[in-house]
């Protein structure tokens, strides 16, 4: 059985606290860190909005109607008031940030390992399959929160003990 929203919220808060203690030394680390902050924000918003896992092939009962209502709402306002759609938006946003963190971290450390293959595969389906993940999700909210927590651990280690020389930060005008 998966974790309840309170447990997920606590795990995310703990993960964010651990990330906030990590120090960045250069532009590469800032780029990786920024993706991770965005992923944690997306997961936090998904939990706050009551994201409901839909692993397997089940779609919301009136998903096409939900999409039309959101699109129609954008005609008159820039606000989306559908909590379910927003929760899914934030969840997908978090996944699309988590997936490239491994690749960037591997490039930075000089050793590529796919630490979160299920997330990467889900994001690839989301990006490349014509129906995205509408025919079935394999990753749930608890999986994504666990992946984020694991990536914070990996980042904290790699930023302290980089394998290749650090790149100098770029300067801004």
Indicate the burial class of 94 (C-beta count within 10 angstroms; 0-12, 13-18, 19 or more): buried
Residue 34: Cβ within 10 Å count = 12
What does the pLDDT read at residue 11? 96
DSSP state of 78: S
Higher pLDDT residue, 31 or 131?
31
Q: Rounded mean pLDDT of 67-78?
A: 84
pTM (2 decimals)? 0.87
Contacts with 140 (C-beta within 8 Å, 6 or more apart), sequence order:
2, 53, 55
* 117 within 8 A of 110, measured Cβ to Cβ: no
Instruction: Identify whether 171 is part of a domain.
Output: no
Instruction: Identify whether 172 is part of a domain.
Output: no
What does the pLDDT read at residue 173? 45
Report the chain's mean pLDDT, rounded to a whole number. 87
Instruction: Identify whether 10 is part of a domain.
Output: yes
Question: For the chain, how many structural domains are there in total?
Answer: 1
Instruction: Identify whether 126 is part of a domain.
Output: yes
Q: Rounded mean pLDDT of 28-56?
A: 93
Instruction: Identify whether 82 is part of a domain.
Output: yes
- Domain span at residue 47 reads 5-159
Q: Calculate what percentage of the chain has a pLDDT beyond 90.
A: 49
pLDDT at residue 35 greater than cutoff 90: yes
Instruction: Identify whether 170 is part of a domain.
Output: no
Instruction: Identify whether 173 is part of a domain.
Output: no
* Residue burial 128-167, b: 16+ Cβ < 10 Å; e: rest: eeeeebeeebebbbbbbbbbbbebbebbeebbeebeeeee
Instruction: Identify whether 58 is part of a domain.
Output: yes
Q: Write the pLDDT tens digit of every residue in 79-122.
A: 777 888 899 999 999 999 999 998 899 888 887 788 898 999 88
């Amino acid at each position: 059985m998966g974790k309840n929203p309170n447990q997920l919220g606590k795990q995310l808060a703990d993960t964010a606290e651990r990330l906030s203690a990590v120090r960045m030394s250069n532009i590469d680390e800032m780029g990786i860190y920024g993706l991770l902050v965005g992923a944690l924000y997306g997961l936090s918003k998904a939990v706050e909005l009551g994201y409901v896992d839909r692993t397997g092939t089940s779609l919301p009962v009136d998903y096409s109607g939900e999409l039309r209502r959101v699109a129609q709402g954008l005609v008159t306002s820039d606000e989306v008031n559908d909590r379910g759609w927003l929760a899914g938006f934030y969840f997908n946003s978090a996944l699309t940030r988590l997936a490239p963190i491994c690749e960037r971290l591997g490039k930075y450390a000089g050793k590529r390992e796919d630490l979160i293959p299920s997330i990467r595969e889900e994001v690839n389906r989301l990006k490349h399959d014509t129906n995205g993940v509408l025919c079935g999700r394999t990753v749930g909210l608890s999986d994504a929160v666990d992946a984020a927590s694991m990536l914070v651990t990996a980042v904290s280690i790699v930023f302290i003990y980089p394998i290749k020389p650090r790149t100098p930060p770029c300067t801004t005008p």
